[in-house]
Structure 1
């Protein structure tokens, strides 16, 4: 099955129901009462102020918010890259909050995929070797057939032996998407995945993420500042002052932009009131 890029799923279509096996958690990501505080005393910063969230498997969620709203901290805590000051985080039904660093590293390598604004490909490795890197780091058998399959899914079947430097930016981000999907993770976290791409190439990459959800049953959580990117998601959640303040189900880019503008203005007024 090849993923076709650049086509937005009709809002009249329901998201594919994720298939679960007996004992498999319905939720890919769960945060309960998650707080993250940096520093102590009067100078402390509450980046997350009690976040409660459960994301069903096989869904695409976008997270937006004004600068300083807690988007990056949310992603880092949800993905096990940072530890919350309080609360509980579960990935694929597994409680990760109390895990050791070694356990978290192993979990991230085998059960979590990442796509970043910077492609983070190793220039000395071939495309296929970059895709297989999560398996290699996790100590798993490097399944070349699996690498070929995911590269075909992102439209790069003929680029497996190339080096990243021989590819365009959009192609490199496709490799990053393939790498994120190769272990069939519980969830793919995407942090501004189209921030370094032009509009047309961004649409292709977003189409791949969208169809990874619709066709492969993947779960995607994407942090973005771009309403056009967010419109590819099933659901958009808005963060303000470390808590979710609003949400839109399968909204247009225009509606999302309006909600974002209103939230930013409201946050600015509250901040001005506090400063006064």
Structure 2
């Protein structure tokens, strides 16, 4: 089973599309603060990041390091307190909410731990949902193509309740791919899957990058999952605290253990 090379989005030449050519994701000085005064929580404390198109990046960090906040800000699901975010060259931090909604539907893909499929819709209808919500023509041939790419060509009429967990996550990946998005954001995509099924799902994300030129940004706690990425970024206390290129699961786990130990020691010293 493999992903067939498909037509990719042409370079975005809209007036608002600026930034560094060839970059899919750019964060500059991104901060996210919750609350004020002495009780304020600095979930992101000044994040700078530049990710090239056609790459697979994993983001890891101890509990409370800011991983979820990073993903939400990078994907336009939350607004940073300060700094700027560009996706596919487009500045999104000053967009109105309706513009952000349109961008998320047409130019971004999402894969979540909980699959987030609508139980009343068929597999095909779930895959076509981003097109439907964006007011685009629902291209059934495109849906059939992406379902074939994820090995579910025979499940178009099935409903989520008739599929295994791994099959449901494949549907979610097909849904993420259907609009040929600038970036696919994956939040713990294998957290609810067994080891073998997780490997199949991660293989699909890897092939989306290698065969289709997709850009994947994945938040995970699992070193085995992170080892599928081109690069692993380590987040601690709201800032990136290191990176590892093409690391093994063992190398990634060792870096995470050291980071968690150091962060815990700092918390203990401040207590």
Quickly name the TM-score band, shorter chain normalised. over 0.9
| Structure-2 residue corresponding to 1:242 | 238
| Structure-1 residue corresponding to 2:248 | 252
* Separation in 1, partners of 2:221, 2:236: 13
Secondary structure of the 1:189 match is: strand
* Separation in 1, partners of 2:131, 2:259: 41
Determine if contact 2:3/2:212 at 8 Å carries over to the other structure: no
1:85 aligns with 2:81: yes
Determine if contact 1:59/1:213 at 8 Å carries over to the other structure: yes
* Separation in 1, partners of 2:167, 2:12: 38
The alpha carbon displacement at 1:3 in A equals: 2.7
- Per-residue CA deviation, residues 155-200 of structure 1 (Å, 9 max, x unaligned), is 0001001111110000000000000010000000000000000000
Of 116, 120, 135, the match for 2:116: 120
CA RMSD of aligned residues (A): 1.5
Determine if contact 1:34/1:48 at 8 Å carries over to the other structure: yes
Secondary structure of the 1:245 match is: strand
| Structure-1 residue corresponding to 2:2 | 2
1:56 aligns with 2:52: yes
1:107 aligns with 2:103: yes
The alpha carbon displacement at 1:97 in A equals: 0.3
Of 178, 182, 194, the match for 2:174: 178
The alpha carbon displacement at 1:20 in A equals: 6.6
The TM-score with structure 1 as length reference comes to 0.92
- Per-residue CA deviation, residues 82-133 of structure 1 (Å, 9 max, x unaligned), is 0000000000000000011111001000001000000110111100000000
1:104-253 to 2 correspondences below 5 Å:
104-253=100-249
Secondary structure of the 1:72 match is: helix
* Separation in 1, partners of 2:32, 2:119: 35
Secondary structure of the 2:251 match is: helix
* Separation in 1, partners of 2:194, 2:257: 23
* Separation in 2, partners of 1:229, 1:248: 14
Query: Unaligned stretches of 5+ in structure 1?
Result: 5-17
Determine if contact 1:116/1:192 at 8 Å carries over to the other structure: yes
The alpha carbon displacement at 1:79 in A equals: 0.1
Determine if contact 2:66/2:237 at 8 Å carries over to the other structure: yes
Determine if contact 2:43/2:69 at 8 Å carries over to the other structure: yes
How many residue pairs get aligned? The number is 262
